[in-house]
């Protein structure tokens, strides 16, 4: 008798507006791939991370579902995954190019996260900008 009551209570929580944040499993984000070094068309993709999930999870999900998006990374012993290439364009220490990580928030601010793709936790409807840049 107690189990059906608990199940109905859980179902009710999921249906109540505002309450399900901790239950909701999808945080939608967009990923914009852009190149500030050599002119090329921007590409925008949609994906999601799970509740409080890290960016690389959404990127992996996108890579599996969309043949037009691919990326590679190298594991840094101290800071985790370092983005090496996006859609075949590889960073080059010789030419001092890299994939910069930027985030356009829903309040239209563009921030430069102080962590990489393995640590950044996107907010719903963030546009993640992967920008081929020079340093
Ligand atoms: C120089 C530098 C860079 C250069 C490195 C290229 C080069 N050859 O010089 C460039 C401009 C490419 C860079 C990029 C980024 N960086 Co940086 N970078 C530094 C800095 C100032 C010095 C690193 C260094 O030379 N150490 C000395 C050498 C001898 O040690 P090393 O282990 O070989 O260093 C390598 C790693 O540090 C690696 N690296 C550099 N930055 C990052 C960031 C991440 C996430 C990873 C995995 C690796 C990595 O590149 C270095 C050279 O090969 C440090 C801050 C500091 N004072 O330490 C920040 C620092 C490491 N970077 C940081 C960040 C956040 C980034 C970016 C994510 C910024 C962004 N939003 O785009 C990007 C990485 C994006 C990606 N592609 O994954 C953070 C990392 C914090 C964290 N916990 O994740 C630091 C600590 C600065 C900070 N904000 O506090 N970075």
**Mutate which of 33, 79, 97, 134 for ligand 1 pocket (most atoms within 8 A of beta carbon):** 79
Q: How far is CA 100 from CA 35, 60, 70, in A?
A: 10, 18, 16
Q: What share of the chain has pLDDT > 70, as a percent?
A: 82
Which pTM value belongs to this model? 0.90
Q: Which domains does the chain have, with CATH numbers?
A: 23-134 (2.170.130.30)
Determine the distance from the C-alpha atom of residue 77 to the mean position of all C-alpha atoms in its chain, rounded to a whole number: 21
Stretch (H or E) spanning 29 = strand 27-35
Contact 76, 82 (CB under 8 A): yes
Which amino acid residue places its CA nearest to atom 8 of ligand 1? 93
Instruction: Give the strand pairing for 97-104 and 110-111.
Output: antiparallel
**Centre of ligand 1 from the C-alpha of residue 93, in Å:** 13
Ligand 1 centroid to 82 CA: how many Å?
9
pLDDT digits (tens, 9 = 90+) for 12-61: 445 555 555 556 689 999 999 999 999 899 999 999 999 999 999 999 99
Cα 130 to middle of ligand 1, angstroms: 15
């Amino acid at each position: 008798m107690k189990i059906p009551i608990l199940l109905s209570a859980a179902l009710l929580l999921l249906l109540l507006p505002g309450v399900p944040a901790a239950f909701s499993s999808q945080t939608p984000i967009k990923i914009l791939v852009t190149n500030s070094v050599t002119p090329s068309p921007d590409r925008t993709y949609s994906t999601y991370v799970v509740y409080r999930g890290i960016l690389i999870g959404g990127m992996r999900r996108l890579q599996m579902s969309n043949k037009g998006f691919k990326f590679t990374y190298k594991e840094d012993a101290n800071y985790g995954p370092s983005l090496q290439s996006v859609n075949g364009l590889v960073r080059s220490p010789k030419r001092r190019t890299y994939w910069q990580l930027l985030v356009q928030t829903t309040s239209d601010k563009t921030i430069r996260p102080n962590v990489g793709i393995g640590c950044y936790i996107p907010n719903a409807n963030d546009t993640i900008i992967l920008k081929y840049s020079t340093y």
